[in-house]
Structure 1
Amino acid sequence: MHAAVVHTFAEPPRYDEFPDPVATGPGEEVVEVLASGLHPRVRSQADGTHYTATDELPLVPGVDGVGRRADGSLLYFVLPDTALGAMADKTLVDPGRSIPVPNSIDPVLLAAAMNPAMSSWVALKRRVTFTPGQAVLILGATGSAGRLAIQTARFLGAGRIVAAGRGAERLAALTALGATDTVDLAGDDETVAQELAAKAADVDVVLDYLWGPVTEKAIMPLLLARTDRSRLLSWVEIGSVAGPDIALPSAALRQANVCFSGSGQGSVSAAGILRELPDLVAEIGRGTFSVDAVARPLAEVAEAWADAPARATERVVLVP
């Protein structure tokens, strides 16, 4: 079969031949891949920087997708850490890590939406005690996952949604998705700190797709400006687009009631994630979420890989 194949972590994958998958046990099933999203998570898998990465090469990237079973039915699947990913003509799936989806659903739309949407969906359902009416700050709101986080928070009943990202034009478009306030992170440090303190100090939940220096500079202005510092602030780290590390002042943990946690593989079990997905699939199928999906042939994986960073608000989907 053909697949996107990583031969070295120093180079992007290329369209190449790869051995056909063979099911060897009751927990494996060969499916025809219909669509697989080129998510930031997949890029870090392919360059060896994700925290689950191993040194195993060659590697077919792709962590999830939409497939067709031998009986013609469709499923959405999430793969374990494996060298045989979803960006191929066929792959091996564990039925226990997949859910059936209607044959009427658009595979490209579903493959584009599920990974970025589940990041906020699972975080708000599994990592915090979120109740309708609470306020949410989204750091990294102008990216594909951040835009879906706004819509997810709105769908789940957030009373106020502060969207922080870069670019006036991109931020202006977020109001239609449900953002009630915006903060442009492209400003100077003092201006950004003042805006975050004024607009987001009293939120209940932070969904953080950035981490790194952006988060580091945001923590204290937010905490010190809270009207009631003893009221819980749940800070959920989901991505690290701005950097993998922060310096956290010990005073932050003493001066305010803040709880830092993460949402991703390990912090939520695969079974726990899968239990939340049928409802998300249903909402995507109903058109609840606005998603910019761009389909590219799998044979053009090298070109799609190079183009993807420029498509911040879009999600590229590879189609065999």
Structure 2
Amino acid sequence: MKAAVVKGLAQTPVYEEFAEPTALAEERLVAVTASALSHLTRSRASGKHYSSSGHFPFVAGIDGVGRLEDGSRVFFVLPSRPHGALAERTVVPAHRCLPLHDDLDDVTAAAIANPGMSSWAAYAERARLKPGETVLVNGATGTSGRLAVQIARHMGAGRIIATGRNEEALQELESLGADVTIPLLQEESALDVAFSREFAAGVDVVIDYLWGRSAELVLTAAARAGQDARPIRYVQVGSMSGSDINLPASVLRSSAIQLMGSGIGSISLDRLIACIADLLKAAGRGGFRIATRMAPLSDIENAWAWDETGGRTVIVTEA
């Protein structure tokens, strides 16, 4: 069968033949129809993600949409290695195959699952978001951040603050549920004023996709609000602005900030899969908006280099 095969560390997957998968007793053979090039897919393929196996060759792709041998349509997560989602066929443990409703098409389901799960799990499993609470999404102009705003509104957030570098995208977020937008490209003194104002008014949950300098400014402003502000659950999800920050110890001692992460390891795999199932059900009903663009599996080497400017890239294996 044809697949996107990774042959070595940091190498782009190539379109070539790979061994046909054979399902064991607790696995399901899936005929793949669509799989998205998420950050996690790219990171694991490059060997940079902490969950990468380091064994080559293997088929890239961590999740996707396909059909079982009985014809039922499923969303699947984490195929059995060395098989992956970017192939004509793959094998997946049965409990990682989720039934898909007809109100969600293959491409949208493949595109929305991973970026949407990042905030759904952060809200539901880590922050325990309650209706009426105020949420700040740091880094809301990317695919995951845009969904984080929509999902916060779906879950009943009372007020949503969105930050980002792209001012045009920030304006669009107002139509997706953001009540306040804060451009990150302004002077740090102005940023400090903006963050301090919001934390003084009260922020319950921060979902952070950036880390780096903006996280330092957010945490410092949150600490400055001090004991006059309600406790803040700060959930670190991504690190697009850098993997490290300089955080004075006094920031945590002088405030009621609960600093935590959300991802593979901090949440059990079973719970992450349950979050994906809940997200996909909500996506069909709620109509979450996500831009997508498609490429055939045979064009994987070119599509691998695309950025997300034109939307989440979804690789399809059939017309």
CA distance in 1, matches of 2:217, 2:83: 39
Are 1:117 and 2:116 matched, yes or no? yes
Are 1:138 and 2:137 matched, yes or no? yes
Are 1:101 and 2:100 matched, yes or no? yes
Q: Give how far 1:81 is off.
A: 7.4
SS at match of 1:246: coil
* Mapped contact 2:7–2:56 kept (Cα < 8 A): yes
Q: Give how far 1:309 is off.
A: 4.5
* Mapped contact 1:296–1:304 kept (Cα < 8 A): yes
Aligned to 1:21: 21
Aligned pair count reads 316
CA distance in 2, matches of 1:63, 1:17: 19
CA distance in 1, matches of 2:290, 2:44: 23
* Mapped contact 2:79–2:91 kept (Cα < 8 A): no
| TM-aligned CA distance change 1:257 to 1:227, over 3 Å | closer
Amino acid in the other structure paired with 2:48: T
SS at match of 1:294: strand
Aligned to 2:277: 278
Aligned to 2:313: 316
* Mapped contact 2:226–2:254 kept (Cα < 8 A): no
CA distance in 2, matches of 1:81, 1:52: 14
Of 218-227 and 84-93, more deviation after overlay is shown by 218-227
CA distance in 2, matches of 1:243, 1:22: 41
Amino acid in the other structure paired with 1:255: S
Of 281-290 and 118-127, more deviation after overlay is shown by 281-290
Aligned to 1:204: 204
* Mapped contact 1:73–1:103 kept (Cα < 8 A): no
* Mapped contact 2:101–2:281 kept (Cα < 8 A): no
| TM-aligned CA distance change 1:10 to 1:130, over 3 Å | closer
Q: Give how far 1:69 is off.
A: 0.3
Q: Give how far 1:274 is off.
A: 2.4
* Mapped contact 1:232–1:259 kept (Cα < 8 A): yes
Are 1:166 and 2:165 matched, yes or no? yes
Of 212-221 and 38-47, more deviation after overlay is shown by 212-221
| TM-aligned CA distance change 1:305 to 1:68, over 3 Å | same
CA distance in 2, matches of 1:310, 1:140: 15
Aligned to 1:252: 251
Of 176-185 and 125-134, more deviation after overlay is shown by 125-134
Q: Give how far 1:12 is off.
A: 1.7
Q: Give how far 1:60 is off.
A: 1.5
CA distance in 1, matches of 2:203, 2:103: 39
| TM-aligned CA distance change 1:149 to 1:53, over 3 Å | same
CA distance in 2, matches of 1:172, 1:4: 37
Are 1:4 and 2:1 matched, yes or no? no
Aligned to 1:70: 69
> Gaps spanning 5+ residues in structure 2: where?
none
| TM-aligned CA distance change 1:89 to 1:168, over 3 Å | same
CA distance in 2, matches of 1:277, 1:41: 15
What is the TM-score of this pair, normalised by structure 2? 0.94
SS at match of 1:173: helix
Q: Give how far 1:225 is off.
A: 3.1
Q: Give how far 1:305 is off.
A: 1.4
Are 1:268 and 2:229 matched, yes or no? no
| TM-aligned CA distance change 1:316 to 1:53, over 3 Å | same
Task: Give CA deviations for 1:247-284 in whole Å, capped at 9, x if unaligned.
Answer: 22110111101111111111111211223333322222
Of 168-177 and 242-251, more deviation after overlay is shown by 242-251
Task: Give CA deviations for 1:205-241 in whole Å, capped at 9, x if unaligned.
Answer: 0001111232123311232135724x21000111111
Q: Give how far 1:190 is off.
A: 2.0
CA RMSD of aligned residues (A): 1.7
* Mapped contact 1:75–1:101 kept (Cα < 8 A): yes
CA distance in 1, matches of 2:238, 2:63: 17
Amino acid in the other structure paired with 2:49: H
| TM-aligned CA distance change 1:268 to 1:306, over 3 Å | same
